[in-house]
Amino acid sequence: MRRVRPAGSARCAWVALSGGVDSAVAAALALDSGLDVVGVTMRLGVSEHLDEAVVGASAEVAGVLGIPHHVIDLSAPFEESVVRPFIDSYVRGETPNPCVLCNDHLKFGVLSGAAVRAGADVLITGHYARIDDHDGLLVLLRGMDTSKDQSYFLYRLVGARLDRLCFPLGGMRKSEVRKIALERGLPSADSTESQDVCFLTGSDAASFLAAKGVAPRVGEIVDMSGEVLGTHDGVWRFTVGQRKGIGVGGGPPLYVVAIDADRARVIVGPADACNVRNVTARDVVWDGPDGELRIQAQVRYRATPQPGNAVLCDGVLSVCFDSPVSGVAHGQSLVCYEGDRVIGGGYLMEAS
- Nearest CA-CA partner of 281 in 319, 247, 325: 319
Do 10 and 121 contact (CB within 8 A), yes or no?
A: yes
DSSP SS3 for 148? coil
Do 78 and 43 contact (CB within 8 A), yes or no?
A: no
Distance, in Å, from the CA atom of 167 to the CA atom of 182, rounded to the nearest integer, reads 20
Q: Is 313 a catalytic site residue?
A: no
- Catalytic choice (99, 102, 166, 274): 102
Q: Is 198 a catalytic site residue?
A: yes
Radius of gyration of the chain (CA): 21
DSSP SS3 for 95? coil
Pairing of strands 36-43, 12-16: parallel
Q: Tally the C-alpha atoms within 13 A of residue 62's C-alpha that lie toward its C-beta.
A: 23
Q: In what order do the strands lie in the sheet with 36-43?
A: 69-73, 36-43, 12-16, 122-124, 165-166
Burial class (CB in 10 A: 0-12, 13-18, 19+), 52: exposed
Catalytic residues: 102, 198
